[in-house]
Chain A
């Protein structure tokens, strides 16, 4: 029942509440008719009632909307009445010019309420039931007013004045109705107007919004530290489109927040907000400072004020299933301070320090027996471990963890992580922290996705275990993540008591529903039906939506790895359509990245770049954003296909720079950058260098246990050896890659490894063509079903080559068997602009036509071949400073095809 019962001290009467009271008064004016005066229909009346219900529930939020925000909302719901309502509210507010007016106003309010003995009620009379939500609200307001001292009433009066003034200064369409009353308050008010504080106020609003978001989401971020940064980005992204002066305003905003936010929340929430702000601006020292300050003040406050609102919303984890421990023990929330500090260090890229702090957090939580915090801390540690890629942890996880990991220190970091994850999950389940449970399930899924389950005991009887990852477990874990949303759906009724949800609800008012993914119009508000939000079945808090959404993202990633492109795409689309509103900006960016990558692989670069453009507009390019990385990736791939090797290398280097930024080394990105480097070298036919790079990359992957990446690198090594004409050396690599793929269930990669294997066999001599063909046909379903354009084309070409080099195969008898795949390959390669492969396809086609004795078609194919060859070679030759003198078809043929190709007629 949080949010309804509160200490009277916590419920202070504010101007916003006064205007809500005015609206309630309009809604329930004591009249005899069923539809009171200003309303023309019952539905109109009810609409206002629903709106008021939402308003009163969100009144428990820390920040209250300004008058102009209220007016805007009224405009949305009021329809025809909008002018009448806003005018009434503003005029009523501005008519309050003396304390006595306030007294009268609240007396009036009391009349709206039916007395407790209002048994005698006429049928059509509208009377507010004192025990209804609105009635309770009114009663609380009246009580709060009655508790005010005279000075308090004076302050309320002044605040109402400011409240009106602000609205007027920020929306000029509403004329000033305030009756001038003498006194200095007014003078100072006019100062506000003159000083052109609009910008400042605007900033403040944004900051307030930001804070609102913060309070809504902190619970979530507590256990997913990565989201911490996300959240902050959110704030900025949220703020950006609104103010054009953002860069200029940034400094002033910090000034403003320091200067003016002070009087928003004296309880120290400002410090937390400042901390978040610093976090976003990567200001380590200020962030550290503000975090410490915030908790220094907070802890004592908690001591004193158990019903601290901020706490309930922020650290209160999930709003309703956190029950503040009955006897708040005398030590404050220092463990939470440690938890936040640890996450901050992590955010700034000091994993070692973060781990130290989190270790202390574990100890202190245990000491104060704060199990909730302990569960979150464990989850944070898990996240830390899985994020930093085990590159630096060796030696950190030592003695302090032994109480938790009783298994001993002989475990590898992965195993420790596994144990921690299990423990954390168990803890979360026993504490019934639903969100944490879901998050832990997701983490488990992530772990299972890339790790083979091994027995934890290094001695004793071992249960037989297949050394493979288990997709079923991953799916199970992901599924248990979904349960969260169903729980929230069932408990919808109890939840609505919480203020935060209603705020989210109100906020939806401004949002267009069902925003289209990748659609060009990313801000059209015309289509937003103001009443759509009423039809929403239930309001699920943003953080839950986010979590469930991210489980879809995980799903998409899982399918990507397992090699089902359609399923990955479907999951990404589901995320983009259903969870776009609740998603954090980094998640949203991620899903865009996934979809665009999919486009690039299946539809070619033209479409991918078009989509990228929209995405770039949507997500402001922060340095090292996913979108930027994606752009570089696409550019590099295209350059590689087109044969612009220099450009490819350049882009590749840029990626490498992004990988090792100041904050920390991003292992994933680093691997990718050097993988791409090796590919570029391969394309430049510098085989030995390419092999060297790939080799060192494999060593790195092996060292840091990046096993999925290892499979890719091995495959690349096989390709390098094949291209360098060393098929025998290539074979073991391809086989090793295959076995990796099997272990980790990487089906698509396995198919492509099989393809490479087939190619290798083929290049061993025409004698092996049959073997190659069998292998290829085995992989065909997977390749054609899930593979991208390039992979399919390669498969087709290889198939054709297999036929052509098979001594028992005759072209003239069955020309379509060869020509058909070649044509397919050429078609599929077109959007990719992959000149090299296309040249190969056309070359083969030309030869086939030649053998078939169709000179016209041969010439056609030959000229396309030449075209692509020149397009591809131009850059390469420039680079290698070779002269292009040969135009002879045969010579080119020798240039890049193996001599084993015997064509039988």
Chain B
């Protein structure tokens, strides 16, 4: 069990090493966690802790059980290794190369390091070469842009990089950073198994490189793969697990991991944002909003993850808050995909779908693989009734991440709109496969089955049943179940579901025609069943409502009374005035 202090020391060294190798985003991440560790209030003046002030309020509000102990992360047997430094003369070249690198002159950096053999230099050379290739690839993408921005540009350096790194790997003269790069290259080349293996090796020998963990995460698409990974214990692994659980839609597990981690990294904005995202997936919008507000107070120029915040605001239809957020991110950084996405959300909320699409498009220009932007753009196209475009957008989303159930759902919806319910079913099936606990998906599928073209009521009933089992907030499923059973001439089942629906509506204190319908059915049903007592209860309740049902209830009551008083064969209608 590592103490806060040792964590701090590890991170500090790691940050230096990472930024020395120009792995900036990993070092940024590490630094964020470093300051996230709770400081010993005795040692520091208030000015030092100023940074960490705000977040406690939210914890007070939402934490029921304060976690007292830090998580059992196991023994961190990897202490920060001291990387060997290249000799002084080579060190000079390294400094030059690093400066070039910092100025984004990657090929120059590569060239400076061409004859260097130290591990650090080799890594930087390869990394610079990789980035040079990536940069060229991005440029080519625009140059060779095919229809709809599809293009086939590839990083042309991958082949040589793979060869060189493979040789290094074989000769065992590769450091964890080299392994990370090797994994990256392998992944791009599509050799996922080897990439996974190499990345595991990298994070096992140097766990503080968050970029390596992220790459590894993108390669673990199922729980099985995750369980097969042979990862050694380290507190970094907890971060990884928390993040991957979220990716694999194990939101509760993820949340508990993050909350554990928060014990040590109390003030980490990163963790806070991740918790917010997890809660967002659990649809706890109120809490998410509070967390994000808090986060923005501490870190006002943050753009990362703010798209999730904007989604929350969108769902809650907070026009002004959303516009405020959009304004804020625009001022911070206009050309971030997240910023564009937030603006897109804003316009969408305002019902200006054309403008919204423009901004989503911009977001996608900035990051082709921005999953949620594709999906959201699909939604916009659906709103604009441009189904082919919507289909295309959704399809890109699922091609980026096949587990994105929203996009599958969108595809289904689009095809359903075009009057192709059978075709749509394929997509709905996909969607529920990846998110079986969402009642809305089941309901959509059921409606598809119910459509007049298919009219497969049995299947629809099955779907509604699933929907009813997974917390159908809008209470559509129960009602539809009842109606369908009634249509199929199964009064017992219909009565069962009407009753359930009624109970539910009572519990939620809902009003509406559904109640009358349910009461009406139950009353007549019990009457034909000769269960007069129940029938009477429902009839009496019907009397509270106005309209023709009331009259029917009256006559029913009358009929029952007559039947009970010894004229069983008499028809009610005869006595109707």
Task: List chain A positions with a Cβ less than 8 A from chain B.
Answer: 149, 151-152, 155, 184-185, 187-188, 191-192, 195, 255, 258-259, 262-263, 266-267, 288, 292-293, 296-297, 299-305, 330-332, 334, 337-338, 341, 356-357, 360, 363-364, 367, 400
Contact B160 A155, beta carbon cutoff 8 Å: no
Q: Can you give 6 contacting A-B residue pairs, CB < 8 Å?
A: A149-B143, A155-B144, A184-B156, A300-B389, A304-B147, A400-B453
CA distance A382 to B150 in the complex (A): 39
Neighbour of A360 across the interface among B387, B394, B422, CB < 8 A: B422
The answer, yes or no, to whether B411 is at the interface (CB within 8 Å) is: yes
Q: Are B395 and A188 in contact (CB under 8 A)?
A: no
- Distance in angstroms between the alpha carbons of A364 and B415 in the assembled complex: 11
Q: Are B420 and A360 in contact (CB under 8 A)?
A: yes
Contact of B392 among A149, A191, A300, A331 (CB under 8 A): A300
Least Cβ–Cβ distance between B18 and chain A, in angstroms: 28
Contact A364 B420 (CB under 8 A): yes
| Cα A149 to Cα B156 with chains together (Å) | 21
Given contacts A334-B415, A364-B420, 20 further A-B contacts (CB under 8 A): A149-B143, A187-B160, A191-B159, A191-B163, A258-B190, A259-B190, A266-B151, A267-B146, A267-B150, A292-B426, A296-B411, A299-B388, A300-B391, A301-B148, A330-B386, A332-B388, A338-B423, A341-B423, A363-B453, A364-B418
* Minimum C-beta distance from A384 to chain B (A): 15
With A149-B143, A296-B391, A304-B148 as given contacts, are A255 and B418 in contact (CB-CB < 8 Å)?
A: no
Whether A255 and B190, one on each chain, are in contact in the complex, defined by CB atoms closer than 8 angstroms, is yes
A360-B453 in contact given A195-B159, A331-B388 (Cβ < 8 Å):
yes
Q: Do A185 and B156 touch across chains, with their CB atoms under 8 A apart?
A: yes
**CB pair B423 A300 closer than 8 Å:** no
Q: At the interface, yes or no: B399 with Cβ under 8 Å from chain A?
A: yes
Contacts A255-B190, A334-B420, A367-B419 given; does A188 touch B159 at CB 8 Å: yes
A330 with B388: CB separation less than 8 A = yes
Bound: A292/B144 CA distance, A: 26
Give Cα A99 to B227, complex, Å. Answer: 53
Bound CA span A337–B426, Å = 13
CB–CB B423/A266 < 8 A: no
Which of B387, B395, B421, B423 meets A337, CB within 8 Å? B423
Does B562 make an interface contact (CB < 8 A)? no
Give the interface SS of chain A, mostly helix, strand, loop or mixed. Answer: helix
**Cβ-defined contact, B154 with A263, below 8 A:** yes
Contact between chains at A263 and B152 (CB < 8 Å):
yes
In the complex, are the beta carbons of B395 and A297 less than 8 A apart?
yes
Q: Interface on chain B toward A: helix, strand, loop, or mixed SS?
A: helix
- List the 4 closest pairs (A to B, CB-CB), nearest first: A263-B152, A300-B392, A296-B395, A191-B159
When chains A and B are docked, how far (Å) is the Cα of A303 from the Cα of B391? Answer: 12
| B residues in contact (CB < 8 Å) with A | 140, 143-144, 146-148, 150-152, 154, 156-157, 159-160, 163, 190, 386-389, 391-392, 394-395, 399, 411, 415, 418-423, 426-427, 453
Beta-carbon contact of A297 and B392 below 8 Å? yes
When distances are taken between beta carbons in the complex, the residues of chain B under 8 Å from A330 are 386, 388
In Å, the complex CA distance between A258 and B190 comes to 10
Docked-complex contact B152 and A266, CB < 8 angstroms: yes
Q: How far is the CB of A359 from chain B (nearest CB, A)?
A: 8
Cα A152 to Cα B152 in complex, Å, equals 14
For B390, the closest partner residue in chain A by CB is: A300
Provide the residues of chain A in CB contact with B147, threshold 8 Å.
266-267, 301, 304-305
Query: Across the interface, do A357 and B143 meet the contact criterion of CB distance under 8 Å?
Result: no
CB-CB < 8 A to B421: which residues of A?
A: 360
Closest chain B residue to A332, Cβ basis: B388
Please name all residues of chain B whose beta carbon is closer than 8 Å to the beta carbon of A356 when the two chains form the complex. 422
A191 to B157, CA, bound (A): 10
Nearest-neighbor residue (CB-CB) of B421 within chain A = A360
Enumerate chain A residues within 8 angstroms of B151, measured Cβ to Cβ. 266
CB distance A188 to B150 under 8 Å?
no
Closest partner residue, chain B, to A267 (CB atom): B147
Complex CA distance for A195 and B163, rounded to whole angstroms: 10
In the bound assembly, the distance between CA atoms of A266 and B386 in angstroms comes to 23
A188 touching B392 by the CB < 8 A rule? no
Query: How far apart sit A363 and B422, CA to CA, in the bound complex (Å)?
Result: 11
Pick from B143, B395, B420, B453: contact of A151, CB under 8 Å: B143
Shortest C-beta distance, B520 to chain A (Å), equals: 31
A300→B426 contact, CB < 8 A: no
A364 to B421, CA, bound (A): 10
Return chain A residues, CB-CB under 8 Å to B420: 334, 338, 360, 364
The minimal Cβ–Cβ distance linking A358 to chain B, given in whole angstroms, is: 10
Residue of A nearest to B133 (CB): A184
Q: Is the CB of A331 within 8 A of B387?
A: yes
State the CA gap A145–B148 with chains docked (Å): 22
| Chain A hits for B387, CB < 8 A | 331
List residues of chain A with CB within 8 A of the CB of B388. 299-300, 302-303, 330-332
Shortest C-beta distance, A430 to chain B (Å), equals 25
Q: Chain B residues near A192 (CB, 8 Å)?
A: 159
Partner of B146 from the list A195, A266, A367 (CB cut-off 8 Å) is: A266
CB of B572, distance to nearest CB on chain A (Å): 37
Shortest distance in angstroms between A330's beta carbon and chain B's nearest beta carbon?
Answer: 7
Bound together, the chains give a CA A89 to CA B421 distance in angstroms of 56
Which chain B positions have C-beta within 8 A of A297? 392, 395
Bound complex: CA A52 to CA B380 (Å):
50
Q: How far is the CB of B375 from chain A (nearest CB, A)?
A: 14
Contacts of A292 in B (CB 8 A): 426-427
Q: A296-B411, A330-B388, A341-B423 are in contact. Are A262 and B152 (CB under 8 A)?
A: yes
Q: Which residues of B contact A195 (CB under 8 A)?
A: 159
| Residues of B contacting A296 in the complex (Cβ-Cβ under 8 angstroms) | 391-392, 394-395, 411
CB-defined contacts of A155 to chain B, threshold 8 Å: 140, 143-144
Q: Which residues of B contact A152 (CB under 8 A)?
A: 143
Compute how far the CA of A360 lies from the CA of B455 in the bound complex, rounded to whole angstroms.
Answer: 13
Q: Which residues of A contact B156 (CB under 8 A)?
A: 184-185, 188
How many angstroms from the CA of A661 to the CA of B156 in the assembled complex?
48
Give chain B residues whose Cβ lies under 8 Å from the Cβ of A337: 423
* Chain A residue contacts of B394, Cβ below 8 A: 296
User: Once bound together, how far apart are the Cα atoms of A357 and B150, in whole Å?
Assistant: 30
Considering the complex, give the chain B residue whose CB is closest to the CB of A335.
B420
Rounded to whole angstroms, the CA-CA distance of A188 and B155 in the bound complex is: 10
- In the bound complex, what is the Cα–Cα distance between A305 and B388 (angstroms)? 13
- Please determine whether A331 and B143 come into contact, CB atoms closer than 8 angstroms: no
CA distance A184 to B148 in the complex (A): 29
Question: In the complex, which residue of chain A has the Cβ closest to the Cβ of B151?
Answer: A266
In angstroms, Cα B418 to Cα A296, docked, is 13
Q: Tell me which residues across on chain A come within 8 A of B159, comparing CB atoms.
A: 188, 191-192, 195
Name the distance in Å between B402's Cβ and chain A's nearest Cβ: 9
| Complex Cα spacing A187 to B360, Å | 38
Query: From A262, which residue of chain B is reached at the shortest CB distance?
Result: B152
Closest Cβ–Cβ distance, residue B357 to chain A (whole Å): 14
Residues of A contacting B423 in the complex (Cβ-Cβ under 8 angstroms): 334, 337-338, 341, 357, 360
- Which residues on A sit within 8 Å (CB–CB) of B415? 334
For B160, what are the chain A residues with a Cβ–Cβ distance below 8 Å? 187-188, 191
Contacts of B152 in A (CB 8 A): 262-263, 266
Among B150, B399, B411, contact of A266 (Cβ-Cβ < 8 Å): B150
A259–B189 CA distance with the chains assembled, in angstroms: 8
Min distance, Cβ A364 to any Cβ of chain B, angstroms: 6
A188 to B158, CA, bound (A): 9
> B132 to chain A: closest CB distance in Å?
9
Task: Determine the residue in chain B with the shortest Cβ distance to A191.
Answer: B159
Which residues of the partner chain A approach B154 to less than 8 Å between Cβ atoms? 263
| Minimum CB–CB distance for B224 against chain A, Å | 18
- Bound together, the chains give a CA A791 to CA B190 distance in angstroms of 64
- Smallest Cβ distance from B549 to chain A, in angstroms? 34
Chain A residue with the shortest CB-CB distance to B154:
A263
Contact of B157 among A188, A304, A341 (CB under 8 A): A188
Give the one of A151, A292, A337 with max B CB within 10 A. A292
- Name the distance in Å between A505's Cβ and chain B's nearest Cβ: 30
How many Å from the CB of A268 to the closest CB on chain B? 8
Chain A contacts of B392 at CB under 8 A? 296-297, 299-300
The distance from the CB of A346 to the nearest CB of chain B, in whole angstroms, is: 15
CB A144 to nearest CB in B, in angstroms, measures 15
